[in-house]
Amino acid sequence: MTRIIDVSLFCFFLFSLGAMSQPSQNLTDCNQFPDTYQSNRNTVLSTLRNHSSLGSYYFNATAGLSPNTVYGMFLCIGNISKTSCSNCVHSATLEMDKSCESHDTSFMFSDECMVRYSDNSFFSLVEDSPATFSYSQNDSLSYPQFYNQTLPGKLDELILKAPSSFSSPVPYFVEDKEHVTQVEGSYDLEAMAQCSPDLDPSNCTVCLGLVVEKFSECCSQSRWARIHFPKCLLRYDISALQPNLTSLGVTTKGDDIFGRTFIAIMIGLLMGL
């Protein structure tokens, strides 16, 4: 497992759209005597939680009659494990359980999952907010060739592939890992794109169009970026550049590492005897 956990990004980004003001209710009271909307909401959150335990990466739930109908869904990032997905949905829904505004909309996007509910149906719609963007700044100085050639091509490839990947193990999720070698050096490029399965393929394309637009505005010079719209997302990560030792004329360095590895193996073998 080579998971790199970026703690600062793992913190939940909480968007309580209908609830930007601080909750004024007494939380305990509120959960003790829930109104109809709150109890529908609790049913939705509980359904989402239960389904995440069954190993899905996406689920939608609806509860209650108008005007107290609550619509909810969760979506996990396609490259995490089922256990991480379930853990993420559990903590997000439990967090939402604690707040008890009536008739509101709540949206949580963490590094691993997105959970939301609303009194308006949002299924099958492309939405451009709330969105979160994080990216590294002006790294391009050290990688000029890379950014203007390899990266846009790689992202285009994923963005074209995602809408037709509905029946992959995680619907609409595509990823790519590549070791890129150029004259200046080599690096690893990891990238992924994903749409929410409630979108049809053409709206998946529309949503990823928003991503591309954002990418060219914010991130084409960034070594890593995470662009999250409510119904689709894009992430990529480029490792530190490893200088091309051959072109610098320091071939012996490679031999040296090889030699040390060889010695280490020999020692290992001797110790094993």
Ligand X SMILES: *[C@@H]1O[C@H](CO)[C@@H](O)[C@H](O)[C@H]1NC(C)=O
| Residues lying near ligand X in the complex (CB under 6 A) | 3-4, 26, 28-29, 43, 46-47, 50, 60, 79-80, 123-126, 137-138, 144-145, 148-149, 175, 181, 183, 186, 190-192, 198, 200, 203, 235-237, 244, 246-247
* Distance of closest approach, residue 252 Cβ to ligand X, in angstroms: 15
Q: Is the dihedral of CA 68, 69, 74, 75 positive or negative?
A: negative
- Residue (of 249, 220, 254) closest to 234 by Cα position: 220
* Distance of closest approach, residue 146 Cβ to ligand X, in angstroms: 9
What CA–CA distance (Å, rounded) separates 231 from 241?
33
Instruction: Extract the tokens encoding 24.
Output: 């004024």
Looking at beta carbons only, is 32 or 273 nearer to ligand X?
A: 32
Looking at beta carbons only, is 119 or 175 nearer to ligand X?
A: 175
* Distance of closest approach, residue 60 Cβ to ligand X, in angstroms: 4
Query: 102, 195 in Cβ contact below 8 A?
Result: no
* Distance of closest approach, residue 187 Cβ to ligand X, in angstroms: 10
* Distance of closest approach, residue 140 Cβ to ligand X, in angstroms: 9
Distance in angstroms between the alpha carbons of the first and the last residue of the chain = 30
* Distance of closest approach, residue 18 Cβ to ligand X, in angstroms: 20
- Residue (of 112, 124, 130) closest to 195 by Cα position: 124
Query: 132, 226 in Cβ contact below 8 A?
Result: yes
Looking at beta carbons only, is 104 or 237 nearer to ligand X?
A: 237
Looking at beta carbons only, is 145 or 261 nearer to ligand X?
A: 145
Looking at beta carbons only, is 55 or 266 nearer to ligand X?
A: 55
Looking at beta carbons only, is 16 or 60 nearer to ligand X?
A: 60
* Distance of closest approach, residue 108 Cβ to ligand X, in angstroms: 19
Looking at beta carbons only, is 108 or 193 nearer to ligand X?
A: 193
